[in-house]
Structure 1
């Protein structure tokens, strides 16, 4: 029986990707480097630290990774605070509230930094629903490495066999499967270029699942 739902954040709870992309590419321009769309797409699910380590190695930058992170974070925060149309993904607040009201434990496991998670949770008042938030910046390896989901599952009230992950990225789904945790792939307009084929179950809208369906979804897979 499912006891815990582990949510990714970007693309699942809120679509901060356009803000991240703006901040990254503004920073790339400042650095005078050309990052292709293909390379940028491969960053999905990675922590900012691991992204800039790859950037530093690929473009032979002399900058310290921490300095690169701080500059990008400043650009992101500046854009985040001034973007009026940033909203939760359609239907996800109703799902979160439904699960919480029925006693399901909710944990966030996101590659985003702690400061970004805090900004999102404060803006949309999400702390009341989640028992834990886990940031990818605390792990040396990003998704598809399973470390973040294994840690999130260790915080669950039940063994990982009674957990499920909701993810929208190729790397996130792979991380969930490597952690041997049942995965629901959320296939949205934002994730149309992501391969979710390894997910145990795929949805296209959060109205497709609620507390009752999640209790039974693993049995039917």
Structure 2
């Protein structure tokens, strides 16, 4: 298949997952604080922001920088997962506003669609099952399938490659600063839909647009 080249138009949309499609980042933050309460460490919102968008290996390194050997990251992560998964099993998967409308619109208009997340594939599949959504994408790239996680561009570059589309013709949808940095470094157009992190001046400069919800992304696509 011949790779599509840039003519100024967007041909593909690449989705992040946590905090962008599913309202899971709040639960994860609560889960880390739950783990801290049990294991006796404090983790504030600034530290949590740094972990968002990163894979397990990178987050483990951050924990070592912050706590040294005083905190066992894997034990803490297990408690965080216990909290998060328990909530999801009890209440179901909370989806972000406008998600199903945007997915239907992209399919109707013939956009290629990809999912590019730092989360491992088995968890991704479970999340979609909980949400009752098919993983109806032209490409899926998960955190355990690239060497470097966000803010490195690897996950988005691989998604664009799987879509056979130039990164400049891909629109990345992200909620986290690390994800925004990764999408911009990949050479993609980037739209932020803020979740827990509000855009700083640095992040605003990397974005084509900042939308308050996924429904508004349709208007962005009509203008590019």
TM exceeding 0.5? yes
**Corresponding residue for 2:62?**
54
**Structure 2 counterpart of 1:41:** 49
Q: 1:3 to 1:82 in 2, by over 3 A?
A: same
Query: Normalising to structure 2: TM-score of the pair?
Result: 0.83
1:13 aligns with 2:21: yes
> Is 2:186 the partner of 1:199?
no
Q: 1:194 to 1:29 in 2, by over 3 A?
A: farther
| Corresponding residue number in structure 1 for 2:140 | 133
Deviates more, 1:59-68 or 1:165-174: 59-68
Aligned match for 1:79, one of 67, 81, 87: 87
Over 3 Å counting, the alpha-carbon distance change for 1:47 and 1:201 in structure 2 is: same
**Matches of 2:187 and 2:170 in 1, distance apart?**
10
- Of the structure 1 ranges 195-204 and 60-69, higher mean CA displacement relative to structure 2 is found in 60-69
**Equivalent of residue 217 in structure 1, options 190, 211, 223:** 223
Distance 1:25 1:49, change over 3 A: farther
Contact 2:193 2:213 in 1 (8 A): yes
User: Considering only aligned residues, what root-mean-square deviation do their CA atoms show, in Å?
Assistant: 2.4
Conservation of the 8 A alpha-carbon contact between 1:100 and 1:129: no
CA distance in 2, matches of 1:140, 1:65: 20
Unpaired runs of 5+ in structure 2?
1-8
**Distance (Å, rounded) in 1 between the aligned partners of 2:170 and 2:193:** 16
Contact kept, 8 Å, 2:49 with 2:197, in 1: the verdict is: no
Counterpart check, 1:170 vs 2:170? no
Counterpart in the other structure of 1:107: 114
**Maintained 8 Å contact 2:36/2:76:** no
Q: Is there any run of 5+ residues in structure 1 with no aligned partner, and where?
A: none
When residues 76 and 2 of structure 1 are mapped into structure 2, their CA distance, relative to the original with a 3 A threshold, is same
CA distance in 2, matches of 1:133, 1:46: 17
Contact 1:109 1:148 (C-alpha < 8 Å) held by counterparts: yes
Distance in 1 separating the partners of 2:26 and 2:91: 10
Partner of 1:145: 152
Number of aligned residue pairs: give it: 213
Distance 1:39 1:66 in 2: 17
